[in-house]
Structure 1
Amino acid sequence: MIRVVLADEEPIVLVGVRTVLATAPDIEVVAEAEHGRDAVDLVLAHRPDVAMLDIRMPELNGLDAAEQIRGLPVDTAVVILTTFADDAYISRALGEGASGFVLKTGDPNEIIASVRAVAAGAAYLSPLVARRVVDQLAHAKPSSDASARVAPLTNREREVLGLIGAGMFNAEIARHIHVVEGTVKVYVSTILNQLGVRNRVQAAIVAYEAKLIPRAQIPGE
């Protein structure tokens, strides 16, 4: 069972998200908060698999709450749930280690998909958010810093990093490079450690900046 803590300043949104998640038999909402500071306390108390946070909350906003959660002795993935697809919000959320960014205006199924994805160690961006990230990174000039960061990786590790950047899950990567999924998990763990990044989203950004994404896998190519 995937255990979730929800936080949103609007009670009606909490009810709506809880109702959506209740349709998934493998997801349980264990606590709710209307303030960011309360959300951090609930994460520490319940140690959920996922914390789903609104950006705009009183006392402590969702981005600051995500930063504090990252510093807790818990293994909790963060999904930002918001109305705003602002580039600054997206960049800050990913910089604070959020593994998901979902828009309230999107398909409700995205909420369930995001929780399942980040709980499994993957990442999830709403299609509109993913498109904005891709637009910023896919056609940018290669970053010398990113190139230096990926240089120590083996050829296979760089290949796997490129496929992470293309949005593939471990099972898809395993089929693509003809290995078992357990081997891919080892590759992913090694890549994250060597790059010094917190999750697959940040690894994907490095992959884009280093131009490791296979052209056939870049949306719009």
Structure 2
Amino acid sequence: MPERSGVAEPVRVVVVDDQELFRRGLTMLLGVENDIEVVGEAGDGVSAVELVVETTPDIVLLDVRMPKRSGLEACMQIKAQAPSTRIIMLTVSDEEGDLYEAVKNGASGYLLKDSSIDEVAQAVRVVAEGQSLISPSMAAKLIDEFKEISRTDREPGNAPRLTDRELEVLRLVATGLNNREVAKQLFISENTVKNHVRNILDKLQLHSRMEAVMYAVREKLLDLP
């Protein structure tokens, strides 16, 4: 939860979807949550980027398929122009390629539109805290995509060196575990996990946990089973 002057403020959200009925409905439902504030809506990828630059929200809920500019393209531009804003793709697309491109372009979450409003609201909270979140049905597909990457003949590059503990954290993140679950697996505190994740992102100069996993697999820093 974002904090200003020591007081927790609502998570500021922008909702982007070309289907007006879905967009308005989601905005109304999220507006009922005490700790979430919708600060704007957009119906296409071009307007989305402009709105995010203007309002600098904490979270953008972004559809994949949109007119003028796709959500995947908008995702990349938003991360370039407003790097502190975190992006959750909310879409009907369960294609592995869309998931892969979304994570590669900087998305921190990927939910399907059949998710409940409670699941969407919780995703907003979790991603606002710096974690990644992917629908359980999509997590296995992402891991399969990672495995395909790791099977390529690409030689390791001159990647920054991660510690053994950081690699352990990355391996667990790759299986979809959140910070609390990683901490339980490694018998360390949740704050220690957060510090490891922050160090990993700093070393690799990346924006999200899932980006870090993709980078590590591509550079042969870790092997998935």
What's the TM-score bracket when you normalise by the shorter of the two chains?
Answer: 0.7 to 0.9
Query: 118, 142, 148: which is aligned to 1:133?
Result: 142
Q: Is the 8 A contact 2:18 2:44 kept in 1?
A: yes
Mapping 1:42-61, distance limit 5 Å: 42-61=51-70
**Residues 43/140 of structure 1: CA separation in 2 closer, same or farther (3 Å cut):** closer
Equivalent-residue separation in structure 2 for 1:149 and 1:129 (angstroms): 31
- Name the TM-score, length of structure 2 as normaliser: 0.82
Equivalent-residue separation in structure 2 for 1:13 and 1:92 (angstroms): 24
- Name the TM-score, length of structure 1 as normaliser: 0.83
Equivalent-residue separation in structure 2 for 1:146 and 1:32 (angstroms): 44
Where structure 1 has 5 or more consecutive residues not aligned to the other structure, the ranges are: 216-221
Q: Which residue of 1 aligns with 2:96?
A: 87
Equivalent-residue separation in structure 2 for 1:121 and 1:208 (angstroms): 21
Q: Which residue of 2 aligns with 1:218?
A: none
Where structure 2 has 5 or more consecutive residues not aligned to the other structure, the ranges are: 1-9
Equivalent-residue separation in structure 2 for 1:101 and 1:83 (angstroms): 10
CA offset at residue 151 of structure 1?
7.7
**Residues 147/158 of structure 1: CA separation in 2 closer, same or farther (3 Å cut):** farther
Q: Which residue of 1 aligns with 2:212?
A: 203
Mapping 1:1-221, distance limit 5 Å: 1-138=10-147, 142=151, 152-206=161-215, 210=220, 211-212=222-223
Residues 149-208 of structure 1 show CA distances to partners (whole Å, capped at 9, x for unaligned) of 778221111111112222222233333333333322221112123334321112233456
CA offset at residue 11 of structure 1?
0.7
Give the residue type in structure 2 aligned to 1:158: L
Residues 62-114 of structure 1 show CA distances to partners (whole Å, capped at 9, x for unaligned) of 11111111111451001111111122211211111011111112333331222
Percent of residue pairs bearing the same amino acid type? 34
Equivalent-residue separation in structure 2 for 1:145 and 1:23 (angstroms): 49
Equivalent-residue separation in structure 1 for 2:36 and 2:187 (angstroms): 32
**Residues 67/25 of structure 1: CA separation in 2 closer, same or farther (3 Å cut):** same
Q: Secondary structure at the match of 1:58?
A: coil
Q: Secondary structure at the match of 2:142?
A: helix
Q: Is the 8 A contact 2:60 2:88 kept in 1?
A: yes
Q: Is the 8 A contact 1:36 1:61 kept in 2?
A: yes
**Residues 150/157 of structure 1: CA separation in 2 closer, same or farther (3 Å cut):** farther
Q: Secondary structure at the match of 1:185?
A: helix
CA offset at residue 138 of structure 1?
4.7
Equivalent-residue separation in structure 1 for 2:11 and 2:29 (angstroms): 14
Give the residue type in structure 2 aligned to 1:97: G
Residue correspondences, number: 214
Equivalent-residue separation in structure 2 for 1:150 and 1:174 (angstroms): 26
Superposed CA RMSD = 2.6
**Residues 59/189 of structure 1: CA separation in 2 closer, same or farther (3 Å cut):** same
**Residues 185/143 of structure 1: CA separation in 2 closer, same or farther (3 Å cut):** farther
Residues 100-142 of structure 1 show CA distances to partners (whole Å, capped at 9, x for unaligned) of 1111123333312221121111111112221211233358755
